[in-house]
Amino acid sequence: MIFIAGILCFSIYVLMPVESAAREEKAAKVTKAVPAALNKWEETLAAAKKEGKVTVVTFVGSETRAALTKSFKAKYGIDLDFTVGQGAATLAKIQAERNAGLYTADAVVNGTSVLTLFKKSGLLEPLASVLMLPEVTDQKMWYGNKLSFFDKEGTGLGFLRQYNSCVLRNTESVKEGEITSYLDLLKPQWKDKVTMYDPSISGSGAMFMATLALGVWNVEDAGTWFKKMLKEQNLAVTRDPRLEVEWVARGKYPIALATYTDQMVNFLASGAPIAQQKVKEGGFVTSSTGALGLFNKAAHPNAAIVFVNWLLSKDGQIAFTSGFGGPSNRKDVTATGVYAALTPLEGDKAYDEDEEGMLKKNSLTKTWAKIISEK
């Protein structure tokens, strides 16, 4: 017994210093890693300030762009330059520039469907390796306790989380409860009274129709509904996101489908008589045009990295959501001007925004284009 006890005491005596040494070594590595990361950030920031500018490809409204420009410039003294346009048109422009040996784009802030197109064309690089700020990389700061990359390679990240009911109504012309289903829109009383963002191009209209085709019903039933809306109800299709909401606010078309969040919030802020209307089939939870990507061969590579990190920080998210009006995916951001109805509630039906879903959605745009051409 004495012999065994001696062995145990010896083991404890020997192991305790070893375990203690292992902990000290691990702590030392962490301690070294933190300054290394901070040094890398400071080096990148210094180089970014010399570059002096970031070019961002986007489709967000002027209010959001102004909020981002002001806040980013105040923080780092770096200018933001925006290339504004719809997904397919912007993609063609960037490809034409690159074919001519010009590389002007740094980052993209748009919908996940647009980022999917850019990735498919070989324009994006993974984001994870350039995320440096601890408040950005800390998974606990994000809803779901993770950064919301929508693809396995991590080239696109959604930083907003908002519920879109897909139906916007003029509260003076369309009362609460008059529309409880997408099928209600086929009633004779709504003929000549509905507008919709064009689903034949990448954007909110394509997302809405994909929700019907891949979530609520199926492609055939969604197509039949769309045909009836066009032919029987004289659905007005538009590619102007601001005009679509203005039509609802003025009562020209008291109902709109698949509106853009920032435009809706801007009109709400001015006191327009509009409101989202939930229906029994549900809508979708989306990052809207709040998804982020980084171009390879960026024109201002260091400034682009600083912008990416800042945009995902608390300050960057406050700036974006204050201008945009949609809720952030960060837990610590409750910006003013966010429309309460956009915050997802438990039980709200959601459409999956992963890469596979986006590719399916993009492939359906040709189907909707054909139906429009046959009207």
DSSP 47-110: HHHHH-EEEEEE---HHHHHHHHHHHHHHHS-EEEEEE--HHHHHHHHHHHHHTT-----EEEE
Short-list 205, 243, 244, CA closest to 226: 205
- Tell me the pTM: 0.77
Short-list 275, 270, 280, CA closest to 256: 275
Domain boundaries, the chain: 1-49, 52-160+288-341, 166-282+358-373
The backbone torsions φ and ψ at residue 226, rounded to the nearest 5 degrees and listed phi first, read -65, -40
Give 271's DSSP letter.
T
Q: What is the per-residue pLDDT for 351?
A: 60
Per-residue pLDDT tens digits for 173-203 = 999 999 999 999 999 999 999 999 999 998 8
Query: Can you tell me the distance from the alpha carbon of 140 to that of 77, in angstroms, rounded to the nearest whole number?
Result: 30
Residue at 370: amino acid letter? K
Q: Is the dihedral of CA 65, 71, 75, 78 positive or negative?
A: positive
Per-residue pLDDT tens digits for 215-266 = 899 999 999 999 999 999 999 999 999 999 999 999 999 999 999 988 998 8
Helix (H, G, I), strand (E, B) or coil at 235: coil
Query: Can you tell me the distance from the alpha carbon of 149 to that of 115, in angstroms, rounded to the nearest whole number?
Result: 11
Q: Contact at 8 Å (CB) between 338 and 183?
A: no
Angle at 26 between CA 23 and CA 31, to 5 degrees: 120
Please say whether the structural domain 52-160+288-341 has been given the CATH code 3.30.56.10. no
In the chain, what's the furthest Cα-to-Cα distance? 97
Equal fold, 52-160+288-341 vs 166-282+358-373: yes
CATH architecture of structural domain 166-282+358-373: 3-Layer(aba) Sandwich (3.40)
Q: Contact at 8 Å (CB) between 110 and 86?
A: no
Residue 285 buriedness (CB in 10 A; 0-12 / 13-18 / 19+): buried
pLDDT per residue as tens, the chain (375 positions): 433 334 333 333 333 344 444 444 543 443 344 466 678 999 999 999 999 999 999 999 999 999 999 999 999 999 999 999 988 899 999 999 999 999 999 999 998 888 988 999 999 999 999 999 999 999 999 998 999 998 899 999 999 988 888 999 999 999 999 999 999 999 999 999 999 999 999 888 998 999 899 989 999 999 999 999 999 999 999 999 999 999 999 999 999 999 998 899 889 989 999 999 999 998 888 888 999 999 999 999 999 999 999 999 999 999 999 989 889 999 999 867 788 788 888 777 666 567 777 778 888 999 999 999 998
Task: Enumerate residues 6+ apart whose C-beta is below 8 A from 237.
Answer: 195, 196, 197, 198, 205, 230, 372
Q: Using CA atoms in the order 366, 368, 371, 375, what is the torsion angle rounded to 10 degrees?
A: -120
Query: Can you tell me the distance from the alpha carbon of 289 to that of 115, in angstroms, rounded to the nearest whole number?
Result: 10
